[in-house]
Chain A
Amino acid sequence: MSLEVFFVAIISSMLINNVVLMRFLGVCPFLGVSKKTESAIGMSAAVMFVMVVASFVTYLLYYYVLEPVGITYISTIAFILIIASLVQLVEMFIKKFSKKLYKGLGIYLPLIVTNCAILGVAEGNIAQGYATDYGVLSGLWVATTSAFGAALGFGLVMFLFSAIRERLDHTDVPPAWKGLPVSLVTAGIMAMAFLGLGGMV
């Protein structure tokens, strides 16, 4: 398997099929934790870790446990539990090592469990059929790379959006547009900008 496959997987999931702006998953933290760049970067890092590790573990669980035994019907429940376990670990780590970030993320930190972007990427890796195309073991690396690309894409749009929102805070926005309205319009314009990357790969 050539490096091209991994490169295409990263670029495709990061820019072309961006998890937030193209697939509209994970919009809750995108709008909720993007007021400050520092919090946005912290949230992105937490989501990136959970997304990549969850994709890796769920892929292994699906193809080495659930499918051979014939119990793929519990895949969604199993995936959610694995994501919840990872979030507990991340919360514990942040609580211990970054007090400021723990305060900044607030309720959004445990709510990573309900971030549909993570479950969407994990389920998407199974639905994409990487195991059929590349074999189960090679497919694992492609799926994990794709998840890493999706996580990078999430981090990229979070950072860009938080930077724009911080600048908007210091600009003379008409009163009726202040706050969420102008943020939603900004997100729409960002989505249109990302639409322009379609067909690149």
Chain B
Amino acid sequence: MDILIGVLVTAGIVCVYLITFLLNKNTHSPMEASDADPEVCGTCANYTCGVKQQHFTEEVRS
């Protein structure tokens, strides 16, 4: 009996998760949130930059 209740409770919570997942999936991501074009972007070589991360290179002592 305990196992059955455990399964039912887990199934209920899984259902809640699936509903929120489907709601989130059906919410379209905004156009502005797409990655900026690295060719057009003219940011500096700053290591905090999320667009041109490859521009920042740490100097390694040999």
Residues of A within 8 A of B (CB): 35-36, 65-66, 69-71, 73-74, 77-78, 81-82, 84-86, 88-89, 91-92, 95-96, 99-100, 102-104, 106, 165-166, 169, 175-176, 178-179
Closest CB-CB distance, A152 to chain B, in whole Å?
25
Q: Check if A71 sits within 8 Å of B2, measured CB to CB.
A: yes
Asked if B58 is at the interface (CB within 8 A of a chain A CB), the reply is: yes
Closest CB-CB distance, B54 to chain A, in whole Å?
14
Q: Check if A169 sits within 8 Å of B46, measured CB to CB.
A: yes
Q: Check if A169 sits within 8 Å of B48, measured CB to CB.
A: yes
Residues of B within 8 A of A (CB): 2, 5-6, 9-10, 13-14, 16-17, 19-21, 23-24, 27-30, 32-34, 46-48, 50, 58-61
Q: Check if B48 sits within 8 Å of A88, measured CB to CB.
A: no
Q: Check if A89 sits within 8 Å of B20, measured CB to CB.
A: yes
Residues of chain A lying within 8 A (CB to CB) of residue B29: 95, 102
Residues of chain B lying within 8 A (CB to CB) of residue A82: 13, 16
Residues of chain A lying within 8 A (CB to CB) of residue B27: 92, 95-96
Docked Cα-Cα span, A77 to B29, in Å, equals 29
Residues of chain A lying within 8 A (CB to CB) of residue B14: 81
Q: Check if A88 sits within 8 Å of B9, measured CB to CB.
A: no
Q: Check if A106 sits within 8 Å of B58, measured CB to CB.
A: no
Docked Cα-Cα span, A165 to B46, in Å, equals 12
Residues of chain B lying within 8 A (CB to CB) of residue A166: 48
Residues of chain A lying within 8 A (CB to CB) of residue B6: 69, 71, 73-74
